[in-house]
Amino acid sequence: MKKKKNKGFSVIEIVLVLGVIGILSSFIAPKVRDYLALAKDSKAINTLQSLRMANETYYLENGNYPSSKDNNMSEILVELSKYVGDKFELVENELLIDIGGSKESAETKEIKYGGKVKVDLNSSKEFILTPHGDTSNFNIRGDEWSKL
């Protein structure tokens, strides 16, 4: 009489497969985190570019830049809403954008994940990004926020 063999995996085989998956994921997880942070930084920069384009379009159509007392961001965004819509949320009259991370200097390898940058107007009526809260001065690529 033939013996029936149990079909399936042994406990050792399952443990080995889980171990290999764990080792592989430990190499992949940090890279995924960096790529997600880069994506958030890119989104912040794209938002800045959209505002700059809307600002210039407003200037071309009206002969002046949107104005407000003390660079009031909510008043400026109302004037620019024709060009960028009303997709921006203000927190205490400040336009804050989530970022993926920041660094203390361009050469630093250590990344502080998360944070926010604030959209401001400089003296030339150009939109710039400035670090907000505990966000450092450089993005994770090593570019200074205020010079983007």
pLDDT digits (tens, 9 = 90+) for 102-133: 999 999 889 999 999 999 888 778 899 999 99
Whether residue 23 is contained in a domain is answered as yes
Q: Which two tokens stand for residue 98?
A: 């989530």
Q: How many domains does the chain have?
A: 1
Q: Which two tokens stand for residue 18?
A: 């889980």
- Map tokens 């830049």 to a residue: 65
Whether residue 17 is contained in a domain is answered as yes
Using one digit for the tens of pLDDT, what is the confidence trace for 24-68? Answer: 999 898 889 899 999 999 999 999 999 999 999 999 999 988 877
Question: What phi and psi, each to the nearest 5 degrees, are found at residue 132?
Answer: -125, 140
Q: Of 145, 59, 57, which Cα lies nearest the Cα of 101? A: 145
Whether residue 19 is contained in a domain is answered as yes
Whether residue 20 is contained in a domain is answered as yes
Q: 92 is in which domain, residue-wise?
A: 12-147
At residue 91, the pLDDT reads 86
